[in-house]
Structure 1
Amino acid sequence: MKTKLRFTSFFVALLIFASFKGNAQVHVGIYHEGILSHIGVGTDPEKKIFAEARVLAGGMVNPFMGLEALGHYNFRQTDWYNLHGGIMLGHNEISDAQAGIPLGLSVKPIANHRQFTLLMEGTPMYSAYDFTFRALIGLRYTLSKEY
């Protein structure tokens, strides 16, 4: 119970911090990976370098929680998609510490609404037990006054 309270407190603090950034662009996202869901908040994904914090949201089937910090670099940016890669460091209740190299494609399918993106991401990861590969798909929305 204490662990879930810590994760919830961290996520609420992250959202409060993000709301104080008046003119900054912030993105929020929800991603799905098998039986795990991720909720993310981060900086402007249209910049060359951007960051994101994710909470692994447990549920009935998988009650485990976790936190991740990601740093991304946009290798290729167009009006329709961004290709990015980076580094991920995380901690969860199953394997404790983990690290990975996320490689992603953010597709912006609606011409008049570029804040909305579809994210597909693959991450080779190392945890305390072994090497694994994770695939995510999800939706991301950039909160901005400038679009």
Structure 2
Amino acid sequence: MKKSTICILAFVFAIFSFQEAEAQVHLGIYHGGVLSQIGVGTDVDKKIFGEVRFLAGDVVNYVLGVEALGHYNVKQTEWYNLHIGLMVGYTDVDEGRIGLPLGMDFKPISNHRQFSVLLEGTPLVANSDFTLRANIGLRYTFRKE
């Protein structure tokens, strides 16, 4: 895919995902292998929520990129949410990527449910190659209570 097509798709996807936001925003930091990500999105406790992730490179792994994700909470309890979604993105080392993230937000502190731990696996295609990415991370949702 062309870079401009990927960027337009990611932008449109993010706009539709974020339209459900009512001033509830989550921030997250995730790590998978040698690549870290910083995410900003809507309330993870809504049935449908969106997120934009910025891939943060380092001295050894200098990859930079952006991904737009839309998620659907399949199962929600007081302690955890199970979600599935769609991810489109672009990095400076591939010509676009698309994936299907499957994850769980675990809320370990009973009197502070805004904090959650993310465990996520994403089968994805980038540069016509299939791979599987695993992320672990921390999220905090800022809500009007």
TM-score (norm 2): 0.84
Q: How does 1:80-91 map to 2 (within 5 A)?
A: 80-91=79-90
Residues 80-131 of structure 1: per-residue CA shift (max 9 Å, x gap): 0000001000000111200000000000000000000000000000111300
Partner of 1:79: 78
The amino acid across from 1:81 in the alignment is Y
Q: Please report how far the alpha carbon of residue 64 of structure 1 lies from its aligned counterpart in structure 2 after TM superposition.
A: 1.2
The equivalent of 1:133 in structure 2 is: 132
Which residue is 1:40 aligned to?
39
Distance 1:127 1:104 in 2: 20
The percent of aligned pairs where both chains have the same amino acid is 60
- Equivalent residue for 2:101? 102
Q: Which amino acid aligns with 1:74?
A: N
Amino acid of the residue matched to residue 115 of structure 1?
Q
The answer to which of 126-135 and 112-121 deviates more is 126-135
Q: Please state if 1:142 is matched with 2:144.
A: no
Q: Could you tell me which residue of structure 2 aligns to residue 26 of structure 1? A: 25
Any runs of at least 4 consecutive aligned residues in structure 1 with deviations exceeding 2 A, and if so which?
A: none
Q: Which amino acid aligns with 1:50?
A: F
Per-residue CA shift, 1:52-87, capped at 9, x if unaligned? 000000111101100000000000000000000010
Distance, in Å, in 1 between the alignment partners of 2:134 and 2:36 is 12
Which residue of structure 2 lines up, in the alignment, with residue 66 of structure 1? 65
Residues paired across the two proteins, number: 126
Q: Give the alignment's Cα RMSD to 1 decimal.
A: 1.3
Q: Does residue 118 of structure 1 match 2:109?
A: no
Counterparts of 1:144 and 1:110, CA distance in 2: 16
| Structure 2 residues without counterparts, runs of 5 or longer | 1-17
Q: Contact 1:95 / 1:129 at 8 angstroms: preserved in 2?
A: no
Q: Give the TM-score normalised by the residue count of structure 1.
A: 0.83
Unaligned runs of 5+ in 1: 1-17
